[in-house]
Amino acid sequence: MGRRFFVGGNFKMNGTQTFLKNLIDNLNAGQLDDNVEVVIAPPALYLDQCRKQVRKEIGVAAQNAFNATSGAYTGEISPEQLKDLSIEWVILGHSERREIFKESDDFVASKVAFALKSGLKVIACIGEKLDEREAGRTFEVVTRQLQSIAKVVNDWTNVVIAYEPVWAIGTGKVATPLQAQEVHEFIRKWLKENTSEATAENIRIIYGGSVNASNAAELAKQADVDGFLVGGASLKPEFVTIVNARI
């Protein structure tokens, strides 16, 4: 059957009740490719609203979660609390969490492992900064980030890897289809050599970084690009076009 195409929409810290209601009304009304798994990630305040409103076959993700069930962790959200709201997914290790909030590779990995153990599915983000790419260190950086996760995760069944070159997030710059394919192919080869052939074959590796309606179709043609994690464009009607990029 092959890997099912996956399109996630990361709303980041955007939206109000009214805005998100209108956005999801549009998504619910859209003719979405049945062969694509769609997941949206609204701000934490609106997870319950969005889960109740969006049609049931569309998944909902939190944008972050902590590595504990409960406790004195002011401002954090636990996987158990997400499950209590019927939230199935969580995004972890996004570059904004790594850069702005100084989350280390090992901390991200610990959150990935805890979320999986708690029964959530994880979109695990990796990717290099501009200076790292220009220095020819892209493979080194993604290897380091993958190694941290591989130390604490044995079963990758419920993991989607999002390769997001930091220099392309919110900048309007996009990795070319060939640049994206080159890194995705490297990630799959690394997983084959360091986890298992089955994991490498079955895991979905999606691309994030200024994906929009005009570039999604070409990116989707690449052999190892199994979908997208969409930022700004997920807040617009064109998100439906991106979901249908392979039609």
- What residues are annotated to the active site? 94, 164
Number of H helices, E strands in the chain: 11, 8
Residue indicated by tokens 């619910």:
28
Of 115, 195, 192, 118, the closest CA to residue 151 belongs to 195
Interatomic CA distance for residues 98 and 136, integer angstroms: 20
Residue 189, amino acid? K
Interatomic CA distance for residues 109 and 103, integer angstroms: 10
Asked if 116 contacts 155 with a C-beta cutoff of 8 angstroms, the reply is: yes
